[in-house]
């Protein structure tokens, strides 16, 4: 049952401090990033040169495709490139 | 802003239909909750908490279409976060961290965070500047002076404004309580 005690309300507001902005933004951009990656990886399936570029210089190739190569994006793509 | 906040279930349904703005709203709604479980509950380092945080939302995004009960997104996220934090601790220590974690204490913390999330919902309902002011003072730990400077208000009036905003929040909480328990009174 939710409290209506003033002091307790203050304590409960304090219980949820803000999340670092960059974390929230990265999670919010997930759908767009996923779609960009799906498109890029689909093209790399058919385009050997693109696939080789991805494997040789992942960060730049992602950046060129308009995808910010964050740590989590890089880990995701590496995983997907490894899988058959 | 305009219009009442959508329910969790409505937000999940819109996410499932491919509405990116609903996804952004869902992340905004639960980001502090997930972060608090990682940092307060499991005391993960910032680096590990960020990894778990991103992993929670990546999995949530993938599994949203399979969620059986849209209303249950909050407990489902809590459970997912809890499990991923335990996995992370296990990876770090290479032993079973569950031995060191008191499940009752964790349940209690999540119960407390659930209540805190309910207060945040009321905070959104009371609107600005009260919502922002209370968040700055209690959650962001800003001084009267900083709040005054950032909101362009005399610092000497902040304490009384906060007090009035708390009363307003209390009223909003009581209204939602009355809706939940209509037989009372």
- pLDDT tens digit at each of 84 positions of chain A: 456 688 899 999 999 999 999 999 999 999 999 999 999 999 988 999 998 998 899 999 999 988 888 888 888 888 888 876
B30 touches chain A (CB under 8 A): no
pTM over 0.80: yes
- Closest CA relative to residue B41, chosen from B71, B74, B79: B79
Interchain CB distance below 8 Å, B53 and A3: no
For residues A72 and A74, what is the distance between their CA atoms, to the nearest angstrom? 5
Q: Do A17 and B32 touch (CB under 8 A)?
A: yes
CA-to-CA distance for B180 and B149, rounded, in angstroms? 39
List, for residues B125-159, the tens digit of each pLDDT value: 898 889 999 999 999 999 999 999 999 999 889 99
Instruction: Give the phi and the psi of residue B5 in degrees, each rounded to 5.
Output: -65, 140
| pLDDT above 90: residue B79 | yes
CA distances from A55 to A45, A49, A82, B166 (A): 12, 10, 10, 56
Other CB atoms within 10 Å distance of the CB of residue B182: 7
Tokens 């609107």 belong to residue: B127
Distance between CA atoms of residues B155 and B177, nearest Å = 33
Assign B168 a pLDDT band (cuts: 50, 70, 90).
very high
Q: Which of A23, A28, A32 sits opposite B50 (nearest CB)?
A: A23
Task: Enumerate residues 6+ apart whose C-beta is below 8 A from B13.
Answer: B70
Which pLDDT does position B180 carry in this prediction?
A: 58
Per-residue confidence band for B98, with pLDDT thresholds at 50, 70 and 90 = low
The pLDDT, as a whole number, for residue B1 is: 45
Number of alpha helices (DSSP H) and beta strands (DSSP E) in chain A: 6, 0
In Å, how far is A80's CA from the nearest CA of chain B?
Answer: 14
Using a CB-CB distance cutoff of 8 angstroms, which residues of chain B are in contact with residue A12? 112, 115-116, 119
CB contact under 8 A, A4 and B173: yes
Which residues, in sequence order, are CB contacts of B2 under 8 Å at separation 6+? none
Question: Is the model's pLDDT at B184 over the cut of 50?
Answer: no
Contacts B54 to A, Cβ<8 Å: 23, 26-27, 72
Percent of chain B at pLDDT > 90 equals 66
By percentage, how much of chain B surpasses pLDDT 70?
89
Within 94-153 of B, beta carbons closer than 8 Å to A belong to: 112-113, 115-120, 122-123, 134-135, 138-141
Shortest Cα distance, chain B CAs vs residue A3, angstroms: 8
Q: Find the radius of gyration of the CA atoms of chain B.
A: 19
Mean pLDDT of B29-43: 95
Q: Among B97-106, B117-126, B156-165, whose mean pLDDT is lowest? A: B97-106
Neighbours of A12 (CB within 10 A): 26
Given this model, what pLDDT does residue B76 score? 95
What distance lies between CA B13 and its chain's CA centroid?
A: 19
User: How far apart are the C-alpha atoms of B65 and B81, rounded to whole Å?
Assistant: 18
Q: What is the DSSP letter of A19?
A: P
Residue B115 and residue A3: Cβ atoms within 8 Å?
A: yes
A19 touches chain B (CB under 8 A): yes
Tell me the backbone φ, ψ of residue A15, rounded to 5 degrees.
Answer: -70, -15
């Amino acid at each position: 049952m939710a409290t209506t005690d003033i002091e307790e309300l203050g304590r409960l507001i304090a219980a949820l401090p803000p999340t670092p902005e960059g974390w929230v933004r990265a999670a919010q951009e997930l759908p767009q990033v996923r779609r960009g990656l799906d498109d890029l990886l689909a093209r790399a399936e058919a385009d050997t040169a693109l696939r080789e570029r991805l494997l040789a210089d992942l960060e730049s190739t992602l950046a060129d495709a308009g995808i910010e190569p964050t740590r989590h994006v890089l880990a995701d793509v590496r995983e997907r490139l490894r899988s058959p | 802003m305009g219009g009442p906040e959508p329910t969790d279930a409505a937000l999940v349904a819109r996410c499932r239909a491919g509405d990116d703005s609903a996804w952004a709203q869902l992340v905004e709604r639960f980001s502090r909750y997930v972060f608090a479980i990682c940092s307060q509950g499991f005391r993960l380092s910032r680096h590990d908490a960020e990894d778990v945080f991103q992993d929670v939302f990546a999995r949530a995004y993938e599994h949203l279409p399979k969620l059986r009960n849209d209303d249950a997104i909050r407990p489902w996220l809590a459970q997912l976060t809890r499990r991923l934090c335990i996995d992370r601790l296990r990876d770090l220590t290479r032993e079973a961290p569950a031995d060191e974690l008191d499940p009752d204490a964790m349940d209690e913390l999540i119960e407390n965070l659930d209540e805190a999330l309910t207060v945040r919902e009321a905070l959104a309902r009371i609107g600005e500047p009260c919502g922002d002011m209370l968040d700055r003072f209690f959650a962001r730990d800003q001084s009267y002076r900083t709040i005054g400077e950032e909101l362009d208000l005399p610092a000497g009036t902040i304490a009384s404004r906060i007090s009035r905003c708390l009363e307003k929040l209390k009223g909003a909480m009581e209204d939602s309580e009355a809706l939940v328990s209509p037989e009372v009174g």
